[in-house]
């Protein structure tokens, strides 16, 4: 039948324990409906939910820059054309940030793990690095997302 397609409601999605996300969903519904004015608080809430926890939260500017640089180098390692280049880049990233999860994954998955046991050990190391970077509470709150 021709006509206007039914608009799906975002609020029918599975609820999350994170109140910022719930508030952002409410704001997005308000924006889609266009019936209520949007306040600065609404926009701040949406921005906070989009930014979420960051691996640079609580770091000095220099530490955050090093962590961001390490992440960019890890991305380059993922796209490297040779194992030697990938190893060199991943090690460089890990010198800047020993908890760079993507660099640890490159070293584990692509280069160093030769057995399933070694792979599991390397992945455990990457998960521990992630928990140190984001915090266990953030990991718990965002599990499954």
pLDDT for res 88: 95
Cα–Cα distance for residue pair 7/9, rounded to 1 Å:
6
pLDDT for res 22: 64
Cα–Cα distance for residue pair 127/112, rounded to 1 Å:
17
Q: Which residues contact 24 (CB under 8 A, 6 or more apart)?
A: 45, 46, 49, 50
pLDDT for res 24: 61
pLDDT for res 50: 60
Cα–Cα distance for residue pair 94/107, rounded to 1 Å:
10
pLDDT for res 5: 38
Region of 52 (left: φ > 0; alpha: ψ -120 to 50; beta: rest) is left
pLDDT for res 96: 93
Cα–Cα distance for residue pair 132/77, rounded to 1 Å:
22
DSSP letter at 62 equals: H
Mean pLDDT by 10 residues, the chain (145 residues): 38 42 66 72 66 61 84 92 92 93 84 82 85 78 74
Alpha helices in 34-79 (DSSP H): 40-51, 61-78
pLDDT for res 126: 85
pLDDT for res 14: 38
């Amino acid at each position: 039948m021709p006509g206007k397609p039914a608009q799906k409601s975002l609020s029918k999605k599975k609820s999350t324990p994170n109140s910022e996300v719930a508030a952002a969903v409410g704001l997005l519904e308000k924006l889609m409906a266009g019936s209520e004015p949007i306040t600065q608080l609404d926009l701040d809430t949406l921005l906070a939910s989009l930014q979420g926890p960051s691996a640079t939260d609580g770091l000095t500017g220099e530490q955050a820059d090093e962590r961001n640089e390490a992440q960019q180098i890890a991305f380059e390692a993922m796209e490297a054309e040779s194992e030697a280049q990938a190893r060199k880049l991943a090690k460089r990233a890990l010198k800047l940030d020993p908890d760079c999860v993507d660099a640890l994954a490159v070293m584990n998955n692509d280069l160093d793990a030769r057995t399933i046991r070694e792979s599991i050990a390397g992945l455990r190391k990457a998960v521990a690095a992630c928990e140190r970077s984001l915090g266990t509470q953030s990991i718990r709150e965002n599990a499954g997302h």
